[in-house]
Structure 1
Amino acid sequence: MTEWLYGRHPVLEALRAGRPINKILLAEGASPRLMAPLLAAAREQGVPVQQVPRRKLDELVPAAVHQGVAAAVAARAYAEVADLLVRARERGEMPFLIVLDGIEDPHNLGAILRTADAVGAHGVIIPKRRSAQLTPAAVKASAGAAEHVPVARVANIARTLEELKAGGLWVVGTDAQADQDYRTADYAVPLALVVGSEGRGMSRLVRETCDVLVRLPMVGRITSLNAAVAAALLMYEVFRARHPIE
């Protein structure tokens, strides 16, 4: 199945990652300077580029900020959970997985993928239902990180966490009512970090499966953070624990 990937950075990163692309549509009048890296990568990969009226792109990806470029690509393939663990092993690193329990906003998913790439996480796990998927909107929000961070889909998050625990990973979940401050947890272990949905947080079964629950302290009047922001804070706390300043 073919889908349209849009935006300069997502299309450029797809080219750099070697993702199969059938063709690229470029809006007439697009800035040659801004498009130069993308055009060079397309030539190197042998991907045809066609100039079209901007309204053609508006019709292909309505209500999207396409930045004058769209690419016809095969629908994104998902990884297996085992692939994420193999990735950690090949790097000689302790596993660091991000598990999303019902994140529904594709922009939040994209932002989480962007941070996951920045901190060197080995992959992201999402449920197959009632969750944002790797749509073009999520890929666009990831600013190209979706091409470098594998995403696995599973039927049951709680069961997957149990399997990861059996394989030696610790599961840390976020809960506003938790007693433990997120800054005091031990992250220098094989780890699955669980982030709940934007409104409900983690489901009861997932919460009960966690080895440790942590909270983000808040002293203002707002009672919760955006899910992608909370995930970023926690991911960088893991990064800090594993990469101390020398």
Structure 2
Amino acid sequence: MSDKIVYGIHAVDLLLKKSVDQIDKIYLQANRQDGKAQKLLSLAAKNKIPVVRWDKTKLDAMTDENHQGVIAELKQTGSLVQTENDLYHLVENSEQDLTILILDGVTDPHNLGACFRTADAAGVAAIVVPKDKSVGLNGTVRKVACGAAETVPFFAVTNLVRALKTLQDLGVWIIGTAGEAEQSIYQTKLSGKIALVMGAEEKGMRRLTRENCDELFHIPMQGSVSSLNVSVAAGVCLFEVVRQRSL
């Protein structure tokens, strides 16, 4: 059920505003009568989305996460996930600099959700993940993303290495983050059409992914820890792109 629901006041509110056609129905906790709940009811009524009043115990049975008394059930799973061909079409039709965030094997939905929020804030054109061994666009991701999953295009590719090579053929410069890289992010030119590749939470990028990058850089670390959480690292990298392009 978790990949067919979106939960939390803010996440459902954004879904009603940006992707209302995905919603089948909304479950609202029976005793919620506050202003935020009334706002959701008004939006739902405006868009003719049925609202079912349920006890908290029934809502708890739908998800182990903190649903805040509201859950939206989706019409179909993964309707926001786009295909490889859609990704290539996006790149081909872009006449300006663009940034793509590629996440190689990120399996924690909280990390993916946080990456969505950062990507939205940094103006990222797309997030790309492999279909296998990677978390999909489930309810937890969308709640943590706080609406960004509805604004940042999301692509799941069958073969990540093949996708990297196709992006290169389309003029995208592939830049990977690797602790062993000699140059730092602050020595790296981040302009034009680029794709930033971030590795999984523990192991980093896979070998073939690393070997198919055009360039590698590391994030300078001043303390005793050897690496950053992937969502934090994504924030550092993406806003260095923003900084360089604003100069």
TM over 0.5: yes
2:213 is aligned with 1:219: no
User: How far off its partner does 1:231 sit?
Assistant: 0.7
2:170 to 160, 167, 171: 167
Q: Percent of aligned pairs with the same residue?
A: 37
Equivalents in 2 of 1:11, 1:106: separation in Å? 17
User: How far off its partner does 1:86 sit?
Assistant: 4.3
After superposition, the Cα gap between the structure-2 partners of 1:31 and 1:224, relative to the gap in structure 1 and judged at 3 Å, is farther
1:202 aligns to what? Answer: 205
Equivalents in 2 of 1:186, 1:10: separation in Å? 36
Which residues of structure 2 form unaligned runs of 5+? none
Which amino acid is 1:177 matched to?
E
1:69 aligns to what? Answer: 70
Equivalents in 1 of 2:42, 2:96: separation in Å? 34
Which amino acid is 2:7 matched to?
Y
2:232 is aligned with 1:229: yes
Q: Are the equivalent residues in 2 in contact too, given 1:7–1:70 (CA < 8 A)?
A: yes
Q: Are the equivalent residues in 2 in contact too, given 1:85–1:122 (CA < 8 A)?
A: no
User: How far off its partner does 1:172 sit?
Assistant: 0.5
2:24 to 22, 25, 30: 22
Which amino acid is 1:67 matched to?
Q
1:209-240 Cα shifts (integer Å, max 9, x gaps):
11110101111111111011001110111111
Q: Please identify, of 45-54 and 171-180, the stretch whose mean Cα deviation from structure 2 is larger.
A: 45-54
Q: Are the equivalent residues in 2 in contact too, given 1:88–1:94 (CA < 8 A)?
A: no
Equivalents in 1 of 2:194, 2:157: separation in Å? 18
Q: Are the equivalent residues in 2 in contact too, given 1:84–1:122 (CA < 8 A)?
A: no
In the superposition, the TM-score normalised over structure 2's length comes to 0.92
1:126 aligns to what? Answer: 129
Q: Are the equivalent residues in 1 in contact too, given 2:27–2:53 (CA < 8 A)?
A: yes
Which amino acid is 2:137 matched to?
L
After superposition, the Cα gap between the structure-2 partners of 1:91 and 1:203, relative to the gap in structure 1 and judged at 3 Å, is closer
Q: Are the equivalent residues in 2 in contact too, given 1:195–1:202 (CA < 8 A)?
A: yes
User: How far off its partner does 1:36 sit?
Assistant: 3.4
Q: Are the equivalent residues in 1 in contact too, given 2:5–2:138 (CA < 8 A)?
A: no
Q: Aligned to 1:193, what secondary structure does the other structure show?
A: strand
Count of aligned residue pairs for this structure pair: 243
User: How far off its partner does 1:89 sit?
Assistant: 6.5
Which amino acid is 1:228 matched to?
S
Q: Please identify, of 12-21 and 209-218, the stretch whose mean Cα deviation from structure 2 is larger.
A: 12-21
Q: Are the equivalent residues in 1 in contact too, given 2:184–2:218 (CA < 8 A)?
A: yes
1:64-98 Cα shifts (integer Å, max 9, x gaps):
11010001102122112343454466674323111
Equivalents in 1 of 2:35, 2:11: separation in Å? 17
Which residues of structure 1 form unaligned runs of 5+? none
1:35 aligns to what? Answer: 37
1:177 aligns to what? Answer: 180
1:103-146 Cα shifts (integer Å, max 9, x gaps):
11011011101111111111111011111111111111111111
Equivalents in 1 of 2:26, 2:160: separation in Å? 37
Q: Are the equivalent residues in 2 in contact too, given 1:85–1:95 (CA < 8 A)?
A: no
Equivalents in 1 of 2:100, 2:216: separation in Å? 16
Equivalents in 1 of 2:172, 2:57: separation in Å? 50
1:48 aligns to what? Answer: 50
Equivalents in 1 of 2:217, 2:245: separation in Å? 18
In the superposition, the TM-score normalised over structure 1's length comes to 0.93
